[in-house]
Amino acid sequence: MNRIGQGNPKNADNSWLVEAASRVLRLAVKFVVGKVTCAVLIELLKEAYVTEAARFLQQKSPGKPVTNSALAALSGLDGRAIKEIKESKGEYTDAELCAEAAILEMWATNPLFQDERGRPAELRIHGPGRTFQGLVRRAAGRAVTPQTVLDDLLGNDNIKLDKEAAVVSLCSPHFSSLNPSDKAMIVAGSHATNRLMKSITHNMKRTKDPDLTPWLQKDRWSVRIPVERVEAIRAEIREVLEKNVDEVVGVLGREEQTTTQGQQVNVGVGWYYWEDEPEKDRNSKDSD
């Protein structure tokens, strides 16, 4: 990521901002890679950008209408794209989320890949026309080869492969790259990340409003922890944090009302533990 801003002195002062944005977005990509396509993620980013840009303009000039021109100036999107985003319902089918689901949907619904009874036909793996190769090309594009998706579909019990005849048949049109426990982890992780960013963005507002009470947001770390001590440190820090969690739960419990009385807000605290890769592993790849 050291390439950003190089060779253009005009961007030198802003390179840190681009690096920071890239750091956050790369983590967002890690969160959904293999689960949501880049195309869908880009659309989600556009939708989020237009929504937050409108909120930014409303806060900047209360009571003043938010125009598409102002949104275009902030977002860099053209008026047509902004209009489409505003009219979008933000809903996506499984086939739009990943190539495997798109392939299975086409196989199950497109007459070209059905037999005389209207059922998904058995397909030879390679060759032109009604083959698995042709199906993959139509549903996922020429850049995706049959071999790329074959193992995933087999592993997910979507298809059955006859190796001798080099023929595949459809068993289930429903593809999921997630384990049953993944949903809870992803939803909880998205909320935790959202709450951390709320603290950061709140504190950023203090540059314009010094009287604003800052919210606590701190990290503490060491870059010189011996690898052989990591397991013990994980256990000790977990014990410390769990005690602190109990203390905070006690504070919140004492203040929490049992019924709705007047204006109420959500108040909470987050805890997290993290590690970087050992130095020898980081030398060969970009760090986060």
Question: What is the tens place of the pLDDT at every residue in 57-87?
Answer: 999 999 999 999 999 999 999 999 999 999 9
Q: What is the DSSP string of the chain?
A: -TTTTTT-GGGGGGHHHHHHHHHHHHHHHHHHTTTS-HHHHHHHHHHHHHHHHHHHHHHHSTTS---HHHHHHHH---HHHHHHHHH------HHHH-HHHHHHHHHHH-GGGB-TTSSBPPEESSSSSSBHHHHHHHHH-TTS-HHHHHHHHHHTTSEEEETTTTEEEES-S------TTHHHHHHHHHHHHHHHHHHHHHHHGGGT-TTSPPPP------S---GGGHHHHHHHHHHHHHHHHHHHHHHHHHH--SS--SS------------PPPHHHHTTS---
Using CB atoms within 10 Å of the CB of residue 118, give its burial: 0 to 12 exposed, 13 to 18 middle, 19+ buried: exposed
Q: How far apart are CA 275 and CA 227, in angstroms?
A: 11
Nearest Cα to 48, choosing from 14, 19, 77, 26? 77
Band (281; pLDDT cuts 50, 70, 90): low
Tokens encoding 147:
């071999």
Is the pLDDT confidence value at 285 over 60? no
Confidence at residue 12, expressed as pLDDT on a 0 to 100 scale: 58
Confidence at residue 66, expressed as pLDDT on a 0 to 100 scale: 94
Nearest Cα to 178, choosing from 193, 156, 148, 159? 156
Is the pLDDT confidence value at 32 over 70? yes
Confidence at residue 183, expressed as pLDDT on a 0 to 100 scale: 86
240-245: long-range pairs with CB below 8 Å, 24+: 241/271, 241/273, 244/271, 245/271
Mean pLDDT calculated for residue range 235-246:
97
Is the pLDDT confidence value at 9 over 60? no
Band (1; pLDDT cuts 50, 70, 90): very low
Residue 189's CB is within 10 A of a number of other CB atoms, namely 11
Confidence at residue 277, expressed as pLDDT on a 0 to 100 scale: 78
Least confident among 83-87, 168-172, 178-182, 244-248: 178-182
Is the pLDDT confidence value at 111 over 50? yes
Mean pLDDT calculated for residue range 241-254:
96
Summarised one tens digit per residue, pLDDT across range 120-165 is 999 999 987 799 999 999 999 989 999 999 999 999 999 999 998 8
**R_g of the chain computed on alpha carbons:** 25
Q: What percent of the chain has pLDDT over 90?
A: 68
Band (179; pLDDT cuts 50, 70, 90): confident
Mean pLDDT calculated for residue range 18-44:
91
Confidence at residue 176, expressed as pLDDT on a 0 to 100 scale: 81
Mean pLDDT of the chain: 89
Q: How far apart are CA 24 and CA 36, in angstroms?
A: 17
Ramachandran quadrant class, 218 (left: phi over 0; alpha: psi -120 to 50; beta: rest): beta
Q: Measured at the alpha carbon of residue 114, what is the angle toward residues 113 and 115, in degrees to the nearest 5?
A: 130
Least confident among 76-85, 110-119, 275-284: 275-284
